[in-house]
């Protein structure tokens, strides 16, 4: 290993904070808060899209595109929840 490569690797290990530091704790809480906000926002989008689908049916309009969008929102929501849970579980172990 060259001296310059060794110096870079040594410096990079000093930059990364240890998990028990306050910085990592703040980053973890910020990430979990952001992920939870994504899940909540997804719930609001789904609720609103369900209203739109119901309005389309009630007023005799085509609802196929609105239903397709609702399905996409629901699929994305599953991904958001799984991602949040995966990250949350990784911090608990």
Any domain includes 14: no
State whether the Cα torsion 29-34-36-40 is positive or negative.
positive
Number of domains in the chain: 1
Tell me the residue range of the domain where 80 lies: 36-93
Structural domain contains residue 79? yes
**Structural Rg of the chain based on CA atoms:** 22
Would you state the pLDDT for residue 92? 80
Residue 3 DSSP SS3: helix
Q: Which residues have CB under 8 Å from 6's CB, separation 6+?
A: none
Query: Average per-residue pLDDT in the chain?
Result: 84
Judge whether 74 lies within some domain: yes
Is the confidence at residue 1, as pLDDT, over 70? no
pLDDT tens for each residue of 48-83? 999 999 999 999 999 999 999 999 999 999 999 999
Q: Is residue 25 part of a domain?
A: no
């Amino acid at each position: 290993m060259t001296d310059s490569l060794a110096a870079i690797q040594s410096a990079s290990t000093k930059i990364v904070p240890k998990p028990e530091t306050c910085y990592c704790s703040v980053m973890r809480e910020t990430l979990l808060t952001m992920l939870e906000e994504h899940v909540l926002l997804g719930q609001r989008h789904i609720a609103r899209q369900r209203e739109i689908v119901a309005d389309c049916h009630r007023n005799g309009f085509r609802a196929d595109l609105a239903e397709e969008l609702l399905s996409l929102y629901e699929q994305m929501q599953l991904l958001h929840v799984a991602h949040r849970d995966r990250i949350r579980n990784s911090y608990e172990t």
